[in-house]
Amino acid sequence: MNTTSLVSAVAASVISLLCFSGCQNRYSSTYVPSIGPSAQLAPYSGHTDILQSANLRGDVGRLVRQNYVILGHSSFETTDWVPDSVRLHEIQTQATRVGADIVLTKKSYQGIKQASAYYPGLLDQTTSSDPTVSPSFVGKDEAVSEELDKYSAVYLRKPVAAAADLSKTMGTLLGNP
């Protein structure tokens, strides 16, 4: 492992630990369910495939045509850099919570966000012969440009009927009618 890879791995681990101890899971906090509790779904397989999608709408449509049911979705925008290890952990945590067999994810660049940041300064070092004038703290307002990214995830599972059909098909293929 080269030095750059080692530094990246250590940084991701530190960020992960910090987030596990205090950050909220953005995929969980923005999750919106799409189905009611009465939906007939196959039991959660216990395994989730997390797939990147360049065309979320098209890929979800293909899975729905294959009888997958949309359990819900998460979406948020941030200027924070989100390491892949943290992002995948957050997605996996939410996927397990809702029982998703497949999660389609997408990160898309939304543009530049302009903001104003205040940077507190040091003690003003100017001196005055007037004893009533005390030194003061000075700060600086500065324009800041940050990249804004949108993170999206769609959680899906096979319905009961599709799982039964799959079981029947597998039984037929294995010689068990």
- Domain membership flag for residue 81: yes
Q: Is 146 a member of any domain?
A: yes
**Is 67 part of a structural domain of the chain?**
yes
User: Residue 40: its pLDDT value, please?
Assistant: 78
Q: Please check whether residue 145 lies inside any domain of the structure.
A: yes
The verdict on residue 47 lying in a domain is: yes
What are the tens digits of pLDDT across the range 154-167? 999 987 765 445 55
Q: pLDDT at position 17, please?
A: 46
Give pLDDT, residue 130.
60
The tokens describing 61, both together, are 């449509």
Tell me what pLDDT residue 153 has: 97
Q: Which domain holds residue 55?
A: 23-121+136-173
Number of domains present in the structure of the chain? 1
Task: Establish if 77 belongs to a structural domain.
Answer: yes
Q: Say how far apart CA 118 and CA 130 lie, in whole Å.
A: 29
* Residue 84, C-beta contacts closer than 8 angstroms, at least 6 positions apart: 12
Asked whether the beta carbons of 67 and 162 are under 8 A apart, the reply is yes
Position 6 in a domain: no
Distance of alpha carbon 90 from alpha carbon 164, whole angstroms: 31
- State the sign of the Cα–Cα–Cα–Cα dihedral 92, 105, 16, 76: negative
pTM of the model: 0.64
The CA angle 171-98-17, to the nearest 5 degrees, is 120
**CA-CA distance, 168 to 162, in Å (whole number)?**
10
Assess contact for 87 and 151: CB atoms under 8 A: yes
- What pLDDT is recorded for position 103? 98
Residue ranges with strand state E in 13-101: 32-33, 49-52, 69-78
| Dist CA 170 CA 176 (whole Å) | 8
* Under 8 Å between Cβ of 100 and 45: no
Check residue 58 and give its pLDDT. 96
pLDDT average per 10 residues of sequence, the chain (177 residues): 48 47 82 79 92 95 92 92 88 96 93 70 55 57 78 90 51 51
Tokens matching residue 92: 């996996």
**What is the structure's pLDDT at 18?**
47
Q: Does residue 84 form part of some domain?
A: yes
99: left (phi over 0), alpha (psi -120 to 50) or beta: left
| Token pair of 11 as six digits | 């940084």
- The pLDDT of residue 48: 96
